[in-house]
């Protein structure tokens, strides 16, 4: 198990994908891989209802996109629970978001 620091890229915060995330700050995620950490962050922060849902298809969740979020492995964390997502405000409930098929 590892601890990953996920940092949104400041220049990309206006990307439409951020409209479906209720959080856009740094977070620490405990996971076996960077890909899993990204999916746990998507699961923790995705909005249950996209504000523009009636007009178009929602964008992909932002945390899984390399162009929007940097990921850095910061430590081994053998005693932590996989899927825990920590922000400055505390622990967030995380569940992995299933990957959507790419058209």
* pLDDT band (50, 70, 90) for residue 90: low
Entry pTM: 0.79
Domain boundaries, the chain: 2-92
Which pLDDT score, from 0 to 100, does residue 76 have? 84
DSSP 42: H
90 dihedral zone (left: phi>0; alpha: psi -120 to 50; beta): left
Among 62, 68, 63, 61, CA closest to 38:
63
The predicted structure's pLDDT at residue 35: 95
Residues 22-80 pLDDT 10s = 899 999 999 999 999 999 999 999 887 655 655 667 788 999 999 999 999 998 877 77
Q: What is the pLDDT of residue 77?
A: 76
């Amino acid at each position: 198990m590892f601890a990953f620091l996920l940092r949104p890229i400041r220049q990309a915060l206006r990307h439409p994908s951020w409209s479906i995330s209720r959080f856009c700050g740094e977070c620490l995620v405990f996971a076996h891989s960077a890909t899993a950490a990204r999916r746990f962050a998507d699961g923790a922060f995705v909005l249950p209802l996209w504000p523009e849902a009636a007009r178009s298809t929602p964008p992909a969740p932002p945390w899984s996109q390399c162009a929007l979020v940097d990921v850095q492995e910061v430590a081994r964390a053998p005693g932590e629970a996989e899927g825990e997502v920590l922000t400055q405000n505390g622990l967030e409930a995380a569940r992995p978001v299933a990957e959507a098929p790419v058209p």
